[in-house]
Each structure stands twice: as structure tokens, then as C-alpha cells.
Amino acid sequence: MKLFQQMLVASATLSLLAPIAAQASDVINIEEINSYSRSKKKKTPKFDHKTFANDISDVSNIKGDINGLDVQQNQFEAGTFSETTTMDGKVVMWAGGIDGGDEIGGSEDTQTGYTFTMNLNTSFTGDDNLYVRLKTGEQGDQWKNKYTYHIETKDNSDALEVDKMWYTFPIGEKVTAFVGPRIENYYMYITPSIYKPGALKSFKLGGNSNFGASTDVGYGLKYELDNGIGFATNIVDKGADEGEGWFAPGNAIKWDSQLAYTADRWHVSGTLSNARNWTAHDYNATTMGRQQARDSIGYALRAYWMPEETGTTVPEISVGYDTKSYGGVFTAGNTTQANSYMVGFTWKDMIQADDRIGLAYTQPLSATEVQGGGATGEVGANVWEVYYSFRPNDSMEITPAIFGGNDIASEEQDDIFGLLLT
């Protein structure tokens, strides 16, 4: 009962806190600033025929100066790198606790966390976009644990860093190109899932097992036809910005290719992932299902469906299935095959406009075959969440959630139950 007493106090305190979004866009006229001057001393003007003639001459000069400034302004705007840069951002704060958290490398203490994000978007042509994301954050160890990773977690000890950076531009009418020094594969996909998690990152992208990536040098292409058919291919190379350069034998590389069909109210897609020396953790995997520093081939199937109207008992549905085959040097008992699945339901506008009720269930990526055969040691891991998200105003969102799971790290005592307010 200690945890839940703490949670009651934390919930009451944090009911006044919520994510805050702000947008700003400013245009500065450099010519006006540079031409502005102020005299420290003012003299009483003396008016005669000479001053009249001088005033007329001054007016002519001013007119000429203005015309010259117009030319300079036009030249400046023609040569500037961008006409506009827009900025938006958000602050996310949360508090929660997990019964059983100490069994999976965390704790049962009530912990808090926050992130601050600033997004900068610049267009040079109107069809392209330079995206830069600045981010900082800090939170307790429980919310950066891979088994219970908060959907908004970022922990860099309050340091504001460049978190993402890439450039997109069109090639013809149907192709979008991506290139950047800090990007992840899934930003270059055709959207595979519409379920928005309320608590855990494990439910992102229809089950964050096969799609899990790591921010680094990346590039890709996305091709979308008017009939709904689309294709995307992209690469993230974690060693491309280091001494060995692109595609060096020791680099950790992930290459994804996606084929999708998207209609007005539904979507299906399949994604093939090839990974070499990949050390990034999966956010939805058991100890046996999560294999590091291994080559792998993965397949991700995704689908979603939306009803014609919101505010009814019929929800949006998102489903996902992942399977992964590991390669490399094995010893007896190492995982060679693993799979995962996820289903998520979302009800919108049920109580008030722009609210969401979310319910999701997943089997984390779990071993199905091991080297040498025999039992995998898996005991049927599962994770679930239920949340309600609502907006007290246009700029704030509050999300209380509960979540839990059984044997989430493939050991029988790895059962959790958590409360979270975001």
C-alpha cells in the first residue's frame, strides 16, 4: 500500500501540471533596424528660404534612400537561406510508480520525470524541410528501463542537445528523399500504426520490437502513388560519422524496406529489416528475445482501421506482428528466432472533444527457437496499458494511465503493475 499512498499524493499534486505546447514565428526587418537612429540632442529648427530648399533636397535624398533600401531588401530576400523558420515545442512532466519494478532492475519508488522539446522547421523552396529538434530531460531510472520505458523519456541530465536533424526534399512529384546526421529509420516510413501510447514506448509503431532503431546518420526514399500504394527504403549507419566512414565492416547498420497500401480508413504494410552488428535495444522484448551485437533479419506486418465517425463505441484498431531471425556466432541456448504481436484500441471524442481512451496488449519479442534446440525458457510474457487522455484547453493534455505485465523479462517473478500521470 505504500506505493499507492504515494501515488495518491503525487496525483493530487500533479493534477495542476500538464504538457505545454507553444508556437512562435517572428519575422525581423533587418533594413528597418539598421536604418533606425536616434539623436541624443535636439535643436530648435530655424526656418528660412535656405532651410526650405535644404528640406526639399533632403526629401529627395530620403526618397532615393528608400528606393535604394527597397533594392537592397529585394536582394537580401533573394539571397537569404530561408524566408521563414517556424518553431514549436512542448514540455512533458510525469510521475508514477511500479509494483514489482525492483524485480526488473528498477525500483518501487514513486518517481518523476520531464522532457522539454523544441522543434525548428525551415523551408527553402516551400516543398522541402530542414528539421532540427532540441531536447533535454531527466527522470528516475524506472522510466528509462527498457521494460518500462516511458513514451516521452529523454535523460541527458538537463543538458539541451541536438536530438534530431535531417533534411527532406522532393524528387519529382511522388518521391520524398531524407538525409541527415541524426535520424531514425521509423521517421522515413509510411505511417504503420495509428495507436498512440499513453504510458509505455513498447506500444509505439504497432509494437516496438522490429522497428526499434537508434539515432545516427541516415538517408532514405519514400515513394507514394495516388492509388494508395507506397514504398519506402532507408538506412541508418551508426559508424558513418566516425573514422571508418560509411558502410565500414564494423559499423552497426540497419536497412529497412517497406511496402504499404493506405486507403482513407485503413492501412496494411510489410517491412523487411536487415541489421548488422546492431546493438540497439528493443523497447518491447524479453531478455531472451533481446539479442545485442547480432546480425538479424526481421519482418514486421502492420494494419489499422478507423471507423467513419468518432464518439461511438466502435474504436480505431491497430495490430502488429513481428518475427526476427538472428545470425552470427551462436553458443548453445542462444536465441535464433523470436516473435511478437500487439493489438491496440482507441476511442476518440467519447466524453469531450479531442479526448482519447486507449487500450493495448502486446506479447514482447520472445524467443521461439534457440541454438541446439530444446526449451527456450520463455514463460509467456505480456504487457498491457489502459489510459484516458483529455484536454482542459487547446494547449494542455492530461493523461492518467495504468499498466502492467506478467513475466515481462521471461522470469516468473517479473510481474508489474504501475500507475502513471503524464
**Residues 28-40 pLDDT 10s:** 333 333 333 333 3
Q: Which helix (H) or strand (E) holds 382?
A: strand 382-393
Q: What was the pLDDT predicted at 207?
A: 92
The CA distance from 381 to 285, in Å, is 9
Q: Is residue 35 part of a domain?
A: no
Q: What is the DSSP letter of 280?
A: P
DSSP helix/strand/coil, 328: coil
More confident residue, 63 or 337: 337
Query: What's CA 388's distance to the chain center, in Å?
Result: 20
We report the CATH number of the domain holding residue 219 as: 2.40.160
Q: Is residue 27 part of a domain?
A: no
pLDDT at 296 over 70: yes
Q: Is residue 64 part of a domain?
A: no
Q: Pairing state of beta strands 253-262 and 266-278?
A: antiparallel
Residue type, 373: G
Q: Is residue 204 part of a domain?
A: yes
pLDDT at 381 over 80: yes
The CA distance from 120 to 134, in Å, is 8
Tens of pLDDT, residue by residue over 217-229, are 999 999 999 999 9
- Half-sphere exposure for 209 (CA within 13 Å, toward CB): 34
Q: What was the pLDDT predicted at 329?
A: 73
CB atoms within 10 A of CB 41: 4
What is the reported pTM?
0.79
Number of domains in the chain: 1
Tens of pLDDT, residue by residue over 349-372, are 999 999 999 999 999 999 999 988
Q: Which helix (H) or strand (E) holds 300?
A: strand 294-305
Q: What is the DSSP letter of 11?
A: H
pLDDT at 152 over 50: yes
pLDDT at 79 over 50: no
Q: Which of 273, 222, 217 is closest to 241 using CA atoms?
A: 217
Q: What was the pLDDT predicted at 67?
A: 52
- Is there a contact between 99 and 3 (Cβ–Cβ < 8 Å)? yes
The CA distance from 182 to 12, in Å, is 39
Q: Is residue 31 part of a domain?
A: no
Q: Is residue 150 part of a domain?
A: no
Q: What was the pLDDT predicted at 144?
A: 86
The residue segments making up the domain with residue 335 are: 2-11+97-111+174-421
Q: What was the pLDDT predicted at 330?
A: 78
The CA distance from 367 to 61, in Å, is 82
Q: What was the pLDDT predicted at 249?
A: 80
Q: What was the pLDDT predicted at 328?
A: 76
Contacts with 382 (C-beta within 8 Å, 6 or more apart), sequence order? 361, 362, 363, 364, 405, 406, 407, 408
In the predicted model, what is the mean pLDDT of the chain? 82
Q: Is residue 281 part of a domain?
A: yes
- Is there a contact between 417 and 401 (Cβ–Cβ < 8 Å)? no
Q: Integer distance in angstroms from the first to the last C-alpha of the chain?
A: 22
The CA distance from 398 to 391, in Å, is 6
Phi, psi dihedrals of residue 339, rounded to the nearest 5°: -145, 165
Q: What was the pLDDT predicted at 359?
A: 98
The CA distance from 265 to 263, in Å, is 6
Contacts with 54 (C-beta within 8 Å, 6 or more apart), sequence order? none
Q: What is the DSSP letter of 76?
A: H
Residue 379 binned pLDDT confidence (cut-offs 50, 70, 90):
confident
Phi, psi dihedrals of residue 387, rounded to the nearest 5°: -150, 160
Residues in the chain: 422
Residue 82 binned pLDDT confidence (cut-offs 50, 70, 90):
low
Average pLDDT of span 150-158: 86
Q: Is residue 44 part of a domain?
A: no
Q: Rank 70-74, 151-155, 343-347 by mean pLDDT and report only the highest.
A: 343-347
The CA distance from 82 to 167, in Å, is 14
Share of the chain above pLDDT 90, in %: 55
Query: What's CA 394's distance to the chain center, in Å?
Result: 21
For cell 523551408, the residue is 123
The CA distance from 350 to 145, in Å, is 33
Residue 146, Ramachandran bin (φ over 0: left; ψ between -120 and 50: alpha; else beta): alpha
